[in-house]
Structure formats: structure tokens, C-alpha cells
Amino acid sequence: MKLKKYQGFTLLELLIALVIIGLLVGVVGPNLFKNLGKSEVTTARAQIDALSKAIEAYRLDTGHFPRNEQGLAALMQAPNDEQGWRGPYLKKDVPMDPWGHPYQYRSPGENGREFDIISLGKDGRPGGAGDDADLRN
């Protein structure tokens, strides 16, 4: 009677497989995370655009932009002394940016803009580069 001899993978075959897996992770991983960051920036830009349109609608109804102390909350709830307010100007509450930070509102804005809506980026602090860079209308 013959016994069957079972063989597994050799050490060399296992090492080659690990090297191949390591190379795949090294190439695919960074690209995957880079695209994730791009999607957050794209979402922030879309939200800033929607907020800008809501602020323009507010101005058309009231004749002026919300004051700084009213902020973006004026898009959802009528300020006490506001004439002509026909909101709410957003379907849902004012969103947080994709990194969980509140959008900043300033009127007048910088560089001659009538207003600024700003996301402070991933780090939630002014300035920065990459995912930490500020985004504005």
C-alpha cells in the first residue's frame, strides 16, 4: 500500500506571494486614499455652492445679506426683526462640512466679495495645504 505524500507551499513561494501582495497594497492604497480626499473636497464645494444660492435667495427676499451675528442660521429661522423673510432657504438644517466642522460665514467677504462661506478643511484651522486647505465660495 502506498501512502500519499501531501505537500504545502514552499517558503520561497510564500515569500513571492507576500511580495506581490505588498506591491499591490503599495500601489492601490495611496490612490484609494487620494480619491477619498477628493470626494470630501467635491462634497464641500457642492455644499458651499448650495449655501451660496440660499444666501442669494435670502438677499432677494430681504434686500440684504444675513448679518455676521445671524450667520447661516438665518437661512433656516427668521431673525426677529427681518422683513420679507420667506424661508427656510434650505431643505435641511445647515450642514457641517465633510470633516465635521461648521461652515464660516462673513459679510462682507474678503477681496471685494459680498459674502464668504468658508470650510476650514480637514484640520478645522485657517490656512493649510492639501486636505487641510480652506475652501471658499
Residue bearing the bigger pLDDT, 76 or 30: 76
Query: Which residue is it, cell 455644499?
Result: 47
CATH H-level, domain 41-136: superfamily? Glycoprotein, Type 4 Pilin (3.30.700.10)
> What is the end-to-end Cα distance of the chain in Å, rounded?
82
CA torsion, points 102, 135, 66, 53, in degrees to nearest 10? -110
Give the residue extent of every domain in the chain.
Answer: 41-136
Rounded CA separation 79/66 (Å) = 9
| 1-55 pLDDT, tens digit each | 566 666 777 888 888 889 888 888 887 777 766 666 678 888 999 999 999 999 9
Indicate the residue type of 38.
K
Helix (H, G, I), strand (E, B) or coil at 119: strand
The pLDDT value given to residue 5: 65
Helix (H, G, I), strand (E, B) or coil at 54: helix
Q: Please, which pLDDT band fits residue 76 given cuts at 50, 70 and 90?
A: very high
The pLDDT value given to residue 24: 83
